[in-house]
Amino acid sequence: MRHTLGALLLGTTLLAASSAWAQTTYNVSKVTIVGNKSVPTDQLMAVVQEHPGSKVTVNDIIADRDAISKVLEAAHVVGSVKPSIKTQGPKSEVIFTVDDQGVQAPVVTKVAPKLDQEIFEGNASIPSDTLAQATGIKPGDDLSNEKIAAAQQAIFNTYKAAKLPVSVAISGENKQVAGGKYDVIWHITETKAKKKKKNSDTDEGAQSE
């Protein structure tokens, strides 16, 4: 909430600025909160220290204004709180007017997850260092679905380029570790390719009479 105090209102007359004005004591007959729409009045009233019958100074009223503002801030209400005093004889009504402009959702800044390390499992035919170099992602790099998909394809391409007598299946797993970083664990299944059977020609012998 944006604090808007200016000068504390006394009826319709601005309180004169003097060294003693903040120490003036008011006999509270009533405390009123108006203008609030987003937070129930009883929740705001619960943090107000003054009550009917108490004696308060302007500083006490300002402290209550700040307490109301904190409740509104916690509820993400946009606006301000302005206190005023309505005096009738020896009694004074303290009024807190809330400029309630509604709830505004907090701005959430999303931080991209970062790579801690890549772990390769099941890669008997190609060293992990070679595959890590092929993926192109390094510890500390931001991670995204696109980068993970590209890294998976790069591992597959590395196997294909090696022309090994194996077929390969690749799946990835993300695991959060200390510091909010992630390990990317690559599960690789190598299967030996089956040899193709050669077709043998059948020689047909000629029959002799």
Residues 98 and 187 in one domain: no
Per-residue pLDDT of the chain (209 residues; tens, 9 = 90+): 544 333 344 433 333 334 444 568 899 999 999 999 999 999 999 999 999 999 999 899 999 999 999 999 989 999 999 999 998 888 999 999 999 999 987 777 777 899 999 999 999 999 999 999 999 999 999 999 999 999 999 999 999 999 999 999 999 999 999 888 999 999 999 998 776 655 554 444 444 33
Which residues are within 8 A (CB) of 201 and not within 5 positions of it... i.e. 6 or more apart?
none
CATH of residue 56: 3.10.20.310
Structural domain contains residue 53? yes
Residues 69 and 127 in one domain: no
Structural domain contains residue 109? no
Cβ contact 71:43 at 8 Å: yes
Structural domain contains residue 201? no
If 0-12 CB within 10 Å is exposed, 13-18 middle and 19+ buried, where does residue 58 land?
buried
Q: Assign 156 to helix, strand or coil.
A: helix
Rounded Cα–Cα distance for residues 15 and 165 (Å):
92
Taking the model in full, what pTM does it have? 0.48
Q: Give the domain range for residue 65.
A: 2-103
Phi, psi of 124 (to 5 degrees): -75, -25
Looking at the 3D structure of the chain, how many domains does it have?
A: 2
